[in-house]
Amino acid sequence: MFIRLTARILRWLVCGRVGPLWMWKALLLFVAIVFAGQLLGVIFNRSGVQPAVHSIFSSPDAQGSSLGSCQPHNHIMFLKTHKTASSTVLNMLYRFGEEHSLRFALPLGYQLGYPLPFNAHRVKGYRGPRVVEFHIMGNHMRFNKMEVEKVMPADTFYFSIIRDPVALTESSFAYYKEVAPAFRKAKGLGEFADDPNRYYDPRLRNNQYARNLLWFDFGLDHNANFSVALAQRGEDLIRRTFKLILISEYFDQSMILLRHALCWPLDAVVSFSLNARQQKPIVGGVSGIWMGKAAAAAGVGGGRSQARMPPNLSLTEDQREKLRQWNALDWYLYKAFNRTFWEEIDRFGRKQMEREVALLRMRREHLARVCLRDGGKPVEAHRIRDKNIRPFQSGFVRILGYELQPGLDNATRMSCLRMIRPEIQYKDLLDSKQFPQVPPIQAPQNPMLLAAGAGSFLRPESSKREIGGRTIEEGSKDWDGSRLVQRNQTVVRGSGTGRSP
């Protein structure tokens, strides 16, 4: 239309012979510019160039329902219990901390001295109480409140997660079959449940996986004889410290309670299940990115390629009841905190909880379609093309992982990658960001060492001695070369400074 109008003006000017020469030139130049602009617009539209789009993680749905005027918690201590979906929870903490540039209380290796009671000097970069501000602590430890309080600020929010002891024992048996002596001796879980005392020796390392594992992780004596009075004292100790205890069997409801307790957006608690297992025959025993010839040579998983069946985990109802009795302290904790969990939901509002759980699940399904291949179906580690996101393998079952959807924009891909990055690789990434000048400690080639809690990577320079039932390495060094010495059965920094040559 504009061109036709211009043509009319030109005819009028030509016929009327009106206007100086400069007006003609200016008009012709203007027409040429307009024509070129239209032509270029058609070309670009046909080429499919579209304006930049926002990542799905920046949409209003990412925030969820209103949380009012509360402020997000930044000081958080998560007691990462074993086989309770705690790896999925830790991934949420890693994501939130990384996105908000928070500082993590990371271990020297991969666990905070487990299975020994936690000691503050197991934290990489710890310089003494209140010297360095740490925001988030969440790697495996045996809880020791006095030592944790040396690392974390006074306003820290403490929480943890527990699971039905029967289901927990089933998972532990599959995962720690070659680690816990009590499990290694039994052919199947039912056989162990029929007579645990036949296989269990409290003096053997790693047998904590076979009895009252929750009680042990909370720093209590898991071999103590059960009594109601003892169980109540343990419950009271936990309640005085931990503001929230989540329940693995009600994971989505737990995430809603956690979101409101921490004042976090919805996407911060949306997750994909990590460290999930698949029970199928495994060729060549333990496999995956962390398994190699060194592990096979050490006798873990066998040196020859052969089919190995997962352990028999079937249980009769009578055997399930025997496991509850065997794990009586854990069973007491589970019943007590399951009761108060639902009391908390009643205070929150059942209808409101149903609405928010529905939103959480819708959001998870949406992100799975966007982020993951095959709509989010987990796959075996060896099928994952990117070796950097293959999950660590242990035991007689396969640990599954995910593959990213191809063709994602950079912002979306980064957010999706955070959601599926396995725990070990994520810890290494955060470690390299916090300590760029310190070479990271490599994961042990034998995966059973890692599964057994080989997280205390001190460099010994002299002899060891036994004090109070604990092995102390005299002359050991912290991550930066500072000497660790023994004082009153507590490992502390010595007066020496600087790195060793």
HEC-encoded secondary structure of 175-202? HCCCCCHHHHHCCEHHHHHHCHHHHCCC
State the average pLDDT over residues 289-306: 33
Residue 312 confidence class, pLDDT cut points 50, 70, 90: confident
Burial zone of 187 (CB within 10 Å; 0-12 exposed, 13-18 middle, 19+ buried): exposed
Residue found by looking up tokens 């036949």 in the block: 198
Q: Is the pLDDT assigned to residue 492 strictly greater than 50?
A: no
Structure tokens at 133: 């501000």
pLDDT, residue 260, reads 96
Report, as an integer, the average pLDDT of 217-238.
98
- Which pLDDT score, from 0 to 100, does residue 131 have? 85
pLDDT of 306 reads 41
The pLDDT assigned to 491 comes to 43
Burial classification of residue 41, based on how many CB atoms lie within 10 Å of its CB (0-12 exposed, 13-18 middle, 19 or more buried): exposed
The pLDDT score that the predictor gives to residue 68 is: 73
Give the pLDDT score at 444: 55
pLDDT digits (tens, 9 = 90+) for 150-195: 999 999 999 999 999 999 999 999 889 989 999 999 999 999 999 9
Report the share of the chain in percent with pLDDT over 90: 51
Q: Looking at residue 483, what is its pLDDT?
A: 52
Q: Answer yes or no: is 145 within a domain.
A: yes
Q: Nearest-CA neighbor of 65 among 358, 396, 424?
A: 358
Q: Compute the average pLDDT of residues 471-498.
A: 43
Q: Note whether residue 41 is domain-resident.
A: no
Q: Is the pLDDT of residue 245 over 80?
A: yes
Q: Does residue 327 contact residue 172 with C-beta atoms inside 8 Å?
A: no
Q: 108-128: b or e for each residue (b if 16 or more CB lie within 10 Å)?
A: bbbbbbbbbebbbbbbbbbee
Give the pTM.
Answer: 0.74
Q: Is the pLDDT of residue 293 over 60?
A: no
> Helices 350-371 and 328-348 meet at what angle, rounded to 10?
100
CATH number of the domain within which 325 lies = 3.40.50
* For residue 413, pLDDT beyond 60: yes
Please report the pLDDT score of residue 297 as a whole number. 28
Tell which wins on pLDDT, 232 or 395. Answer: 232
Domain-located, residue 444: no
The answer, yes or no, to whether the previous bond of 115 is cis (omega within 30 of 0) is yes
pLDDT for res 3: 53
Average pLDDT, integer, range 315-330: 98
User: What mean pLDDT comes out for the span 75-85?
Assistant: 97
In a domain, 27, yes or no: no
* pLDDT(123) > 60: yes
Q: What is the pLDDT averaged over residues 120-126? A: 95
Q: What's the pLDDT at 316? A: 96
Is residue 368, in this structure, part of any structural domain at all? Answer: yes
Least confident of 85-89, 276-280, 296-300, 483-487: 296-300
Domain housing 180: 70-278+315-434
Lowest mean pLDDT among 312-316, 420-424, 482-486: 482-486
Contact 310, 281 (CB under 8 A): yes
Number of residues assigned to the chain: 501
Confidence of residue 47 (pLDDT cuts 50, 70, 90): very low
Question: What are the structure tokens assigned to 205, written together?
Answer: 């390392």
321-341: average pLDDT = 98
Residue 17 lies in a domain: no
pLDDT recorded at residue 156: 98
Query: Considering the domain boundaries, does residue 474 fall inside one?
Result: no
Q: How are beta strands 76-79 and 157-162 bridged, if at all?
A: parallel
- Residue keyed to tokens 């929480």: 159
Q: Above 50 in pLDDT, residue 423?
A: yes
Q: What is the pLDDT, as a whole number, of residue 69?
A: 82
Return d(Cα 467, Cα 456) in angstroms, integer: 17
26 lies in some domain: no
pLDDT for res 23: 62
Number of domains in the chain: 1
- Amino acid found at 207: N
* CA-based nearest residue to 430, from 13, 95, 39: 95
Question: Model confidence at 373, in pLDDT bands (50, 70, 90)?
Answer: confident
Structure confidence at residue 227 (pLDDT): 97
